[in-house]
Amino acid sequence: MSTDPQVSPELAGVQVHGITRETFILRGAIAAASVYGAAAVGPFVGNALAATGGGDVAILNYALTLEYLETAFYNVKGRSLKLSGTAKQYAQQFGAEEAQHVAALKATIKKLGGRPVKSPTFVFPATDQRSFLALASTLENLGVSAYNGAAPGIKNPAVLAAAGSIVQVEARHAAAINLLIGDSPTPDGGFDKTKTMSQVLAAAKPLIMT
């Protein structure tokens, strides 16, 4: 129903065919419980499950939470610091791209009949350009491992294609930031490692105020 021009072509292709919303949510809840288990369900997934019922929507809400985090980091924290040169350019460009990810994920969740989680409030321990870039590297590389970890659990091929198109961009961001700070653009070597949802949420927890 959304004609949001920010939605990528892949996400525009997402449809839910021929089942009632209630059945969809029930199936999603069963799927999520079997995939994630009670222990893995952190506050954000908890929100997502309450809002939506699980499945692909739960994964998308997990992704949305991370995109909220990155957007706030680049656009709010980044603007509050006196960034210059390439760091400033990256913060502006990457921040704009993360904001597009937020918009697209929200639209997809709604299209699937789910409810997008609201953005948490964040706190970022960065005080200058150096610490900002160090945290940027952490967050972007975390995002890559999060998407790569979650993607095989996605059921809908269009949603998987969309996740793939986003993780590629996060990997590009990560490499650029790493090079800027003198780190390897491929910190995991030839194959990027994955993280589970509970690992990622545990890593992000210190940054989340509410």
Partner 1 sequence: MERKRFLKMAGGGAAASFGAFVLAACGGSSGSSTATTAAAPASTTAMHSSASGDLAILNYALTLEYLETEFYDKVVAAKLFKGATGDLVKTFAQQEQEHVDAIKATITKLGGTPSAKPNGKFPVSDANRVAQLAYTVENLGAAAYLGQAARIKSKDVLAAALSIHSIEARHAASLATLVKKPITPDGAFAKPADMQTVLVAVKPFLA
Which residues are near partner 1 by CB under 8 A?
8, 10, 93, 96-98, 100-101, 104, 144, 148, 151-152, 157-158, 160-162, 164-176, 179, 184-186, 189-194
CB 52 within 8 Å of CB 117: no
User: In residues, how long is the chain?
Assistant: 210
Considering the complex, what minimum distance in angstroms separates the CB of residue 176 from partner 1?
A: 5
Considering the complex, what minimum distance in angstroms separates the CB of residue 140 from partner 1?
A: 10
In one-letter notation, the amino acid at residue 7 is V
Considering the complex, what minimum distance in angstroms separates the CB of residue 123 from partner 1?
A: 25
Considering the complex, what minimum distance in angstroms separates the CB of residue 165 from partner 1?
A: 4
Residue whose CB is less far from partner 1, 14 or 201: 14
For 12, 74, 119, 181, the CA distances from 109, given in Å and listed in that order, are 11, 23, 14, 35
Residue whose CB is less far from partner 1, 25 or 154: 154
Residue whose CB is less far from partner 1, 66 or 144: 144
Separation of CA 74 from chain center: 14
Other beta carbons within 10 angstroms of residue 64's beta carbon come to 24
Alpha carbon distance 178, 181 (integer Å): 5
Residue whose CB is less far from partner 1, 25 or 99: 99
In one-letter notation, the amino acid at residue 117 is V
